[in-house]
């Protein structure tokens, strides 16, 4: 009997081994289920056709995002004519900063700086004036003009900046446009002018930038503004109107809309108005006084804030300070600086 029970136990064990399909051994221990080792995931190589990431930087004169490599060149400052027969000017809306200054006869002229978007051609180009070294030196790039009184040319040459002068050029950097009356017909190959000086550094920042509405904080006490009326003289009284839909100021001259050669209305993201003294020691040629400081307004995003401006040295930028002592910030975009004489006038309408 005992022997029969032993045989039956042994047979039952064999049956269990068979039913378990090999998952249970005859000794009763459990083997883990078989697993597969996953193949390693190879790292993804960038296809040769896929472009490398673009290094992003801020344009120093506009405060806008841009391709860093595309900004690795100097700016170019150009004296641009604003005589009635010089209009419409070429590529003003592609500039970073425009300075409007009083010259002889009560008319104005521009010192225009291009960096983030240098056109192939700009103009009409005119002669240098005694305040231009103070305006242009901080940018550090070449300056282009058609000539000027010897004393003023010497002043500009003394800055050490590369001077590109139509009167002295025999390299084809300038030409006279057949469709414009002289002397308002000198055109500069601006991109070529920059390309000849790629050893120079990009310009340093000139202003402090904030948001698209940088004067919204109560501390600036910025006033709603729809219209700016500026008087340089009886012959020059530009104005700016706020276009809320486009988010820009639109320019007029002597009561008429001001357009550039492209047909676009001249426009600005920021209008900076500075009250300046005039030095008449050069006879009939006025010199805008930019050493020292004075009253300032910044108009942006349909608002205007009052403050002051200062300039420590010829090489230093213009510093804008709000009445509460904080920096007057600009919105990212292009800027016009209106250098209005103290005996002119400035008015802002809500």
- Written as one string, the DSSP assignment of 143-190 is EEE----HHHHHHHHTT-SPEEEGGG--SSSEEE-TTS-TTTTEEE-H
- Tokens representing residue 278 in the block: 């005039």
Distance of CA 69 to the CA centre of its chain: 15
Q: pLDDT 10s digit of each residue in the chain, 350 long? A: 344 444 344 344 333 333 333 333 333 444 444 444 444 444 445 455 666 666 789 999 999 999 999 999 999 999 999 999 999 999 999 999 999 999 999 999 999 999 999 999 999 999 999 999 999 999 999 999 999 999 999 999 999 999 999 999 999 999 999 999 999 999 999 999 999 999 999 999 999 999 999 999 999 999 999 999 999 999 999 999 999 999 999 999 999 999 999 999 999 999 999 999 999 999 999 999 998 999 999 999 999 999 999 999 999 999 999 999 999 999 999 999 999 999 999 999 99
Q: How many CB atoms lie within 10 A of CB 263?
A: 7
Contact 165/173 with Cβ under 8 angstroms? no
Q: What is the DSSP string of 320-348?
A: EEETTSSB-PBPSS-EEEEEEETTSEEEE
Q: How many CB atoms lie within 10 A of CB 240?
A: 26
Task: Provide the whole-model pTM.
Answer: 0.85
Distance of CA 114 to the CA centre of its chain: 9
Contact 341/295 with Cβ under 8 angstroms? no
Could you identify the residue written with the tokens 């509460």? 324
Q: Using one digit for the tens of pLDDT, what is the confidence trace for 74-128?
A: 999 999 999 999 999 999 999 999 999 999 999 999 999 999 999 999 999 999 9
The partner residues of 175 in beta bridges, in order of sequence, read 187
Q: Is 297 helix (H, G, I), strand (E, B) or coil?
A: strand
Q: Which residues contact 223 (CB under 8 A, 6 or more apart)?
A: 303, 304, 305, 348, 350
Q: How many residues does the chain have?
A: 350
Q: Using one digit for the tens of pLDDT, what is the confidence trace for 218-244?
A: 999 999 999 999 999 999 999 999 999
Torsion of Cα atoms, 85 then 103 then 253 then 78, to 10°: 70
Residue closest to 118 by CA, chosen among 204, 202, 210? 202
- Tokens representing residue 292 in the block: 């020292």
- What residue segments make up the domains of the chain, in order of their start? 56-349
- Within 13 Å of residue 5, how many CA atoms lie on the same side as its CB? 2
Hey, which CATH number is domain 56-349, 3.20.20.80, 3.30.420.40, 3.50.90.10, 3.10.20.30? Answer: 3.50.90.10
């Amino acid at each position: 009997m005992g022997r029969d029970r032993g045989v039956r136990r042994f047979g039952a064990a064999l049956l269990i081994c068979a039913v378990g399909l090999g998952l249970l051994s005859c000794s009763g221990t459990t083997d883990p289920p078989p697993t597969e080792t996953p193949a390693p995931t190879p790292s993804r190589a960038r296809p040769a056709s896929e472009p490398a990431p673009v290094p992003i930087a801020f344009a120093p004169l506009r405060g806008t995002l841009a391709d860093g490599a595309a900004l690795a060149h100097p700016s170019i400052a150009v004296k641009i004519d604003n005589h009635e027969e010089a209009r419409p000017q070429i590529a003003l809306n592609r500039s970073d900063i425009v300075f409007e200054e009083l010259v002889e006869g009560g008319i104005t002229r521009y010192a225009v700086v291009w960096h983030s978007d240098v056109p192939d051609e700009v103009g009409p180009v005119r002669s240098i004036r005694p305040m231009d070294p103070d305006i242009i030196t901080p940018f550090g790039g070449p300056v282009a003009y058609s000539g000027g009184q010897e004393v003023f040319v010497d002043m500009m040459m003394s800055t050490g900046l590369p001077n590109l002068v139509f009167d002295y050029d025999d390299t084809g950097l300038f030409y006279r446009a057949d469709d414009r009356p002289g002397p308002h017909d000198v055109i500069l190959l601006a991109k070529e002018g920059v390309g000849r000086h790629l050893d120079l550094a990009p310009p340093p920042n000139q202003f402090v930038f904030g948001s698209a509405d940088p004067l919204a904080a109560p501390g600036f006490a910025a006033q709603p503004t729809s219209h700016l009326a500026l008087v340089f003289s009886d012959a020059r009284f530009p104005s700016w109107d706020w276009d809320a839909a486009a988010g820009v100021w639109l320019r007029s001259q002597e009561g008429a809309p001001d357009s550039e050669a492209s047909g676009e209305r001249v426009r600005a993201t920021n209008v900076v108005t500075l009250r300046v003294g005039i030095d008449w020691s050069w006879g009939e040629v006025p010199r805008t006084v930019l050493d020292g400081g004075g009253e300032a307004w910044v108009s942006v995003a349909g608002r205007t804030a009052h403050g002051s401006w200062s300039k420590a040295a010829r090489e230093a930028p213009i510093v804008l300070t709000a009445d509460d002592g904080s920096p007057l910030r600009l919105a990212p975009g292009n800027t016009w600086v209106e250098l209005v004489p103290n005996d002119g006038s400035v008015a802002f309408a809500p």
